[in-house]
Structures are given as C-alpha cells and as structure tokens.
Amino acid sequence: MSPSILIVGATGNTGRAVTQTLPKLLQSCSTLSSHRIIALTRSSDSPAAKELAKLPGVEVVEQNWVEITAEWLRTNEVTRAFIASHNEPTQFAEESTFYLNALTAGVQYVVRISTTAANVRPDCPAYYPRQHWAIEALLGSLEFKNLHWTSLQPNIFSTLIMSPAAELIKNYRKTGEQDTLRLMLAEDAPVGIIDPYEIGVAAAHLLSQDDTSVDNKAKYVLNGPEDITGKKIVEMVEQYIGTPLKDVSYKDVSFIEMLYQYQYAATKQSKNVIYSIQRAPETAWAGQCSTSTSSKEILELAAPKRSPADVLKSLLED
C-alpha cells in the first residue's frame, strides 16, 4: 500500500473540488506523485461519489470522519489531509479529536476550512466562528508542532448569497409573480463572496506543495474576484426579470428561525446558541469583508475567478 492524502467530505461544497483538482497537481509533484487519494463520503453509492471514483488515483471510501482513529490513519498511511468540518455545536470536540488522532498517527500536514476571517475571534457573537478560533489556537499550540497545518478563512459562499435571487427569477419566469427578495447582505456594504468550488481548488494547490513548512500555521483569507452589495444583486435580478422589484429585505437572517425549527428544535440544542448565527453577517454589514482582505498568497497560488454574475447564471441553469 502506498501513502495517501485523505479528503474528508469529498462530495461536499469544497471537498469535491479538492478531489477533482488534486490528481492532476500530484502528477507534477516530485514528492507526492505516488500518493493515493482517499475520498471520504457518507455513501459510496451516491452519483457524486461514483463520478469521483472514476478519477485516476482516487479511492472512494465510505467512512464517518468523526469516528476516524489514529489506527485508521496509520493503516491507510495518511500523510496529508483536507477537512471541511460541519459547524454544529459539536464541531470543536469532533474536529479536535481528529487532529489529535492525526498527530498521534504521524500525519504531516492538514488543510482545513475555517470561516469568515473577521469573525474568527474569541468574542464573536455567533458561536461557530469561536469554534474555529479555538481549533486554530489548538493547532498553533506547542503540543501540535509536529502537525503542519493551514487554515483557509473563506468569505461567505456566493451560492448561499445568490440563491434567493436565482429562486425569485425562476419563480417569476414560471408565474409572473414576485416574492420578497430576502438578501443576507446589506444594501451598500461591499462583500467579496466566493464560490465554494474555488476554495477547494486553492486547498488542492496547498496539499500538492512539496514543502509544507512554507504554509505551516498560515491563516489565508479567501474572497471572490469582485465585491458585491445587496443593491447590486437587486439590479442584477431586475435585469433578468425586466421589471423593478416590489419588495426587498436586506440584512435578512430570518432563515435561521426555520433552521432551528426544522433541524435543531427536536434535538434539544440550545436556542440561544443556534440563534446566535443571526449575528454572523454583522462584520459583512460593517464593511469588513471586502476583497481588499484577500491573502496575496492565495491570489498567487490559485486566484478565484468566478464572479457573482457567473454564479447567478449557473444557479439559473440548474
């Protein structure tokens, strides 16, 4: 068995891009060309998993990542790993367990997905960025010095921001009726929203570097190629439907109420904790999440190219 690179969540928003991009990059990498790629998934029978299994050097494995042990990592000879964890209240416990097992098993390098850089701090009012801050503090401790790591801090996903616009356009084309356009963004604050696929591409480039010490302990900020505002999204929608919008709700986080009711209420999760997600966009509303915050290292390595207009067009084609 040859050494491997593990991709946790290989069929997800970012993991799919890592899995599709990495094989070609490894071909030109002097130290990693013989590495296998283990693409982890919840179901190897899913259409997405079956497509990934066709890629050269990719082995699709059905495994719950939170149950991965140090022995599993050693048996599979994992030397590097990519992980895009969930952001539920159990994130810190489960993700830190993975890193402890990785350290114990001798994994050399991990690339992880964090969240919006302006929120990754101990006093963020939303709960999940504090978990990311705690994970980065843990990895940066002396005890974890033998595990190299890079944390990618991407801006808000463009698919999440542009989906309400796409749904309104689709509905208008079918019925001629307008619903309220509910936008998470503020009317005028510029935000560098990013396509999650391009985050995965950047992660793949990092994983394929010969020398991981260059990016060890780095926290890279990822934005899309251009800023967008709520007002600009309104203009784009009006161009598609050919008429002014009747009702727009900016800074709209009402979906968090539905998220709690349908996903968390029955599990007895703290309403206080889950509802704190409503405050996550405050830094974006304050103008702290524009493209000006992008890390130059990412722009040089794998600069994102998909604009908000590109993402809206693709959503309308789905």
Residues 187, 309 share a domain: yes
Residues 170, 46 share a domain: no
How many CB atoms are located within 10 Å of the residue 142 CB? 5
Round to whole Å and give the CA distance between 124 and 176.
42
pLDDT tens-digit profile of 40-62? Answer: 998 888 999 999 999 999 999 99
Q: What is the pLDDT of residue 267?
A: 86
The answer to whether residue 294 is domain-embedded is no
Residues 151, 168 share a domain: no
* Percent of the chain residues past pLDDT 70, beyond the cut: 100
- Domain interval for residue 67: 4-156+194-222
Residues 65, 188 share a domain: no
Residues 128, 178 share a domain: no
Residues 137, 45 share a domain: yes
The residue from 178, 207, 222 where one domain ends is 222
Q: Return the minimum-mean-pLDDT range out of 47-61, 239-253, 291-305.
A: 47-61
Which has the closest alpha carbon to 132: 121, 140, 146, 148? 121
The answer to whether residue 299 is domain-embedded is no
Residues 128, 251 share a domain: no
List residues bridging with 82 in a β-sheet. Answer: 7, 111
Residues 136, 259 share a domain: no
Q: Is the pLDDT of residue 1 over 80?
A: no
pLDDT tens-digit profile of 145-178? Answer: 999 999 999 999 999 999 999 999 999 999 999 9
CATH number for the domain that contains residue 8: 3.40.50.720
Round to whole Å and give the CA distance between 298 and 276.
30
pTM over 0.75: yes
Instruction: Say how many domains are in the chain.
Output: 2
pLDDT tens-digit profile of 78-104? Answer: 999 999 999 999 999 999 999 999 999
Q: Is the pLDDT of residue 31 over 90?
A: no
The answer to whether residue 241 is domain-embedded is yes
Round to whole Å and give the CA distance between 76 and 2.
8
Which has the closest alpha carbon to 76: 32, 107, 52, 49? 107
Residues 76, 49 share a domain: yes
Instruction: Describe the crossing of helices 15-27 and 196-207 by its angle, rounded to 10 degrees.
Output: 40
The answer to whether residue 30 is domain-embedded is yes
pLDDT, mean over the chain: 96
Which has the closest alpha carbon to 81: 150, 34, 138? 150
Round to whole Å and give the CA distance between 158 and 315.
10
